[in-house]
Chains A and B, each alone.
Chain A
Amino acid sequence: MSQKISIVCVSGTREKLQMAAMIASVAAATGDAVSVFFSMNALTYFIKGHTAGAPTEGEFGKLLAQKGVPPFKQLFKQAAELGDAKLLPCSMALDLLKITKNELDPEFGPATGLTRFLSQSEGGQLLTF
Protein backbone atom coordinates (compact mmCIF):
# COMPACT_ATOMS: atom_id res chain seq x y z
CA MET A 1 0.00 0.00 0.00
CA SER A 2 1.40 3.37 -0.90
CA GLN A 3 1.15 6.09 1.68
CA LYS A 4 1.55 9.83 1.98
CA ILE A 5 4.73 11.03 3.66
CA SER A 6 5.45 14.69 4.34
CA ILE A 7 8.91 15.70 5.50
CA VAL A 8 9.90 19.04 7.03
CA CYS A 9 13.61 19.91 6.75
CA VAL A 10 14.70 22.69 9.05
CA SER A 11 18.19 21.79 10.26
CA GLY A 12 21.25 22.48 8.14
CA THR A 13 23.37 19.72 9.66
CA ARG A 14 24.66 16.86 7.54
CA GLU A 15 23.16 14.03 9.61
CA LYS A 16 19.62 15.42 9.57
CA LEU A 17 19.70 16.32 5.87
CA GLN A 18 21.08 12.86 5.06
CA MET A 19 18.38 11.01 7.02
CA ALA A 20 15.61 13.14 5.51
CA ALA A 21 17.03 12.54 2.01
CA MET A 22 17.31 8.79 2.60
CA ILE A 23 13.68 8.53 3.68
CA ALA A 24 12.48 10.79 0.86
CA SER A 25 14.33 8.86 -1.85
CA VAL A 26 13.43 5.38 -0.68
CA ALA A 27 9.79 6.23 0.01
CA ALA A 28 9.35 8.08 -3.29
CA ALA A 29 11.05 5.35 -5.32
CA THR A 30 8.79 2.78 -3.63
CA GLY A 31 5.67 4.56 -4.78
CA ASP A 32 4.77 6.65 -1.76
CA ALA A 33 3.56 10.20 -2.32
CA VAL A 34 6.36 12.29 -0.83
CA SER A 35 6.49 16.04 -0.21
CA VAL A 36 9.51 17.70 1.38
CA PHE A 37 9.17 21.21 2.79
CA PHE A 38 12.49 23.06 3.14
CA SER A 39 12.87 25.99 5.49
CA MET A 40 15.38 27.73 7.82
CA ASN A 41 18.96 26.44 7.54
CA ALA A 42 18.01 23.49 5.33
CA LEU A 43 17.00 25.62 2.34
CA THR A 44 20.27 27.39 1.53
CA TYR A 45 21.99 24.21 0.28
CA PHE A 46 19.65 24.19 -2.68
CA ILE A 47 20.40 27.68 -3.98
CA LYS A 48 21.91 27.26 -7.46
CA GLY A 49 25.68 27.13 -7.35
CA HIS A 50 25.83 26.33 -3.62
CA THR A 51 28.61 23.79 -3.18
CA ALA A 52 29.70 24.09 0.46
CA GLY A 53 29.11 20.91 2.48
CA ALA A 54 26.87 20.82 5.54
CA PRO A 55 28.50 20.96 8.99
CA THR A 56 28.37 17.78 11.06
CA GLU A 57 26.45 17.47 14.32
CA GLY A 58 28.68 14.77 15.75
CA GLU A 59 31.19 12.04 15.03
CA PHE A 60 28.87 10.05 12.79
CA GLY A 61 28.51 12.95 10.41
CA LYS A 62 32.18 12.65 9.52
CA LEU A 63 31.60 9.07 8.33
CA LEU A 64 29.02 10.37 5.89
CA ALA A 65 31.74 12.24 3.98
CA GLN A 66 33.41 9.00 2.88
CA LYS A 67 33.24 7.64 -0.64
CA GLY A 68 30.23 5.47 -1.33
CA VAL A 69 27.73 7.43 0.77
CA PRO A 70 25.24 9.04 -1.62
CA PRO A 71 25.26 12.82 -0.95
CA PHE A 72 21.96 14.23 0.36
CA LYS A 73 21.51 16.55 -2.61
CA GLN A 74 21.77 13.59 -4.99
CA LEU A 75 19.22 11.61 -2.95
CA PHE A 76 16.69 14.47 -2.95
CA LYS A 77 17.20 14.83 -6.72
CA GLN A 78 16.58 11.08 -7.20
CA ALA A 79 13.49 11.33 -4.99
CA ALA A 80 12.12 13.95 -7.38
CA GLU A 81 13.23 12.31 -10.61
CA LEU A 82 12.58 8.63 -9.85
CA GLY A 83 9.65 8.93 -7.49
CA ASP A 84 8.00 12.26 -8.29
CA ALA A 85 8.68 13.61 -4.80
CA LYS A 86 7.75 17.27 -4.45
CA LEU A 87 10.55 19.47 -3.12
CA LEU A 88 8.89 22.61 -1.80
CA PRO A 89 10.65 25.76 -0.64
CA CYS A 90 9.09 27.61 2.31
CA SER A 91 7.78 30.95 1.07
CA MET A 92 8.75 32.68 4.33
CA ALA A 93 12.35 31.43 4.01
CA LEU A 94 12.53 32.65 0.39
CA ASP A 95 11.28 36.07 1.53
CA LEU A 96 13.86 36.36 4.31
CA LEU A 97 16.67 35.22 2.00
CA LYS A 98 15.41 37.72 -0.60
CA ILE A 99 15.45 35.12 -3.36
CA THR A 100 12.82 33.54 -5.61
CA LYS A 101 12.10 29.92 -6.47
CA ASN A 102 14.02 30.44 -9.74
CA GLU A 103 17.27 30.75 -7.82
CA LEU A 104 16.90 27.23 -6.44
CA ASP A 105 17.89 23.93 -8.07
CA PRO A 106 15.51 22.99 -10.92
CA GLU A 107 13.94 20.04 -9.06
CA PHE A 108 12.23 22.48 -6.70
CA GLY A 109 8.51 23.11 -6.93
CA PRO A 110 6.62 26.33 -6.22
CA ALA A 111 7.09 28.50 -3.15
CA THR A 112 4.76 27.02 -0.57
CA GLY A 113 3.22 28.51 2.56
CA LEU A 114 2.60 26.58 5.72
CA THR A 115 -1.15 26.63 5.32
CA ARG A 116 -0.97 24.91 1.94
CA PHE A 117 1.71 22.46 3.07
CA LEU A 118 -0.26 21.46 6.17
CA SER A 119 -3.44 20.96 4.19
CA GLN A 120 -1.55 18.87 1.62
CA SER A 121 -0.10 16.79 4.46
CA GLU A 122 -3.46 16.03 6.02
CA GLY A 123 -4.05 12.34 6.70
CA GLY A 124 -0.45 11.30 6.06
CA GLN A 125 2.69 10.96 8.14
CA LEU A 126 4.67 14.08 8.92
CA LEU A 127 8.37 13.79 9.82
CA THR A 128 10.55 16.70 10.90
CA PHE A 129 14.32 16.96 10.67
Chain B
Amino acid sequence: MSESKIIDACNTFCPGPLMELITYMKQANVGDTLELLSTDDGSAADVPEWAHKAGHEIVSNEKIGEIWHIKVRKTK
Protein backbone atom coordinates (compact mmCIF):
# COMPACT_ATOMS: atom_id res chain seq x y z
CA MET B 1 0.00 0.00 0.00
CA SER B 2 1.34 3.41 -0.90
CA GLU B 3 1.31 5.97 1.87
CA SER B 4 0.89 9.71 2.19
CA LYS B 5 2.99 11.76 4.54
CA ILE B 6 3.09 15.44 5.40
CA ILE B 7 6.45 17.13 5.90
CA ASP B 8 6.13 20.45 7.67
CA ALA B 9 9.10 22.63 6.72
CA CYS B 10 7.38 25.94 7.41
CA ASN B 11 9.58 28.78 8.61
CA THR B 12 12.79 27.29 7.29
CA PHE B 13 14.73 28.98 4.53
CA CYS B 14 16.24 27.70 1.29
CA PRO B 15 17.47 25.01 0.90
CA GLY B 16 15.93 23.71 4.15
CA PRO B 17 12.51 22.64 2.76
CA LEU B 18 14.02 20.89 -0.25
CA MET B 19 16.60 19.06 1.87
CA GLU B 20 13.87 17.90 4.27
CA LEU B 21 11.79 16.60 1.40
CA ILE B 22 14.76 14.74 -0.07
CA THR B 23 15.58 13.22 3.34
CA TYR B 24 12.08 11.75 3.60
CA MET B 25 11.98 10.84 -0.09
CA LYS B 26 15.01 8.60 0.38
CA GLN B 27 13.16 6.67 3.08
CA ALA B 28 9.84 6.49 1.20
CA ASN B 29 8.69 3.61 -0.99
CA VAL B 30 7.92 3.89 -4.70
CA GLY B 31 4.31 5.06 -5.05
CA ASP B 32 4.28 7.00 -1.77
CA THR B 33 3.16 10.63 -1.88
CA LEU B 34 4.88 13.25 0.25
CA GLU B 35 3.27 16.63 0.85
CA LEU B 36 5.75 19.38 1.64
CA LEU B 37 4.51 22.41 3.54
CA SER B 38 6.73 25.45 3.03
CA THR B 39 6.55 29.18 3.65
CA ASP B 40 9.59 29.72 1.40
CA ASP B 41 8.26 30.98 -1.96
CA GLY B 42 11.36 29.61 -3.69
CA SER B 43 10.18 26.07 -2.90
CA ALA B 44 7.29 26.40 -5.36
CA ALA B 45 9.75 26.61 -8.24
CA ASP B 46 12.69 24.66 -6.84
CA VAL B 47 10.86 21.53 -5.72
CA PRO B 48 9.32 20.86 -9.18
CA GLU B 49 12.72 21.52 -10.74
CA TRP B 50 14.30 18.94 -8.43
CA ALA B 51 11.45 16.45 -8.97
CA HIS B 52 11.81 16.77 -12.72
CA LYS B 53 15.54 16.13 -12.54
CA ALA B 54 15.21 13.28 -10.06
CA GLY B 55 12.36 11.74 -12.08
CA HIS B 56 9.55 12.06 -9.50
CA GLU B 57 6.02 13.25 -10.17
CA ILE B 58 4.52 16.55 -8.98
CA VAL B 59 0.92 15.74 -8.02
CA SER B 60 -0.06 19.28 -7.02
CA ASN B 61 1.55 22.59 -6.11
CA GLU B 62 -0.63 25.29 -4.57
CA LYS B 63 -0.45 28.12 -2.09
CA ILE B 64 -3.13 28.02 0.59
CA GLY B 65 -2.96 31.14 2.73
CA GLU B 66 0.74 31.73 3.37
CA ILE B 67 1.76 28.10 2.95
CA TRP B 68 2.80 26.22 -0.16
CA HIS B 69 1.49 22.65 -0.32
CA ILE B 70 3.58 20.65 -2.77
CA LYS B 71 2.70 17.00 -3.30
CA VAL B 72 5.32 14.75 -4.84
CA ARG B 73 4.93 11.06 -5.71
CA LYS B 74 8.00 8.87 -5.59
CA THR B 75 8.18 7.11 -8.94
CA LYS B 76 11.47 5.22 -8.74
Contact = CB atoms under 8 A, between A and B. Distances in A.
A9 B15 CA distance: 19
Given A30-B53, A31-B53, A31-B54, A68 B13 contact: yes
A22 B11 CA distance: 17
A92 to B, nearest CB: 31
Interface stretch (B17-25, B29-37, B60-68): B17-25
A39 interface: no
Contacts of B23: 78, 82
Interface residues on A, range: 10 to 19
Given A22-B15, A29-B18, 5 more contacts: A31-B54, A68-B12, A69-B12, A78-B23, A82-B19
Interface of A: 22, 25-26, 29-31, 67-70, 75, 78, 82
Interface of B: 11-16, 18-19, 22-23, 26, 50, 53-54
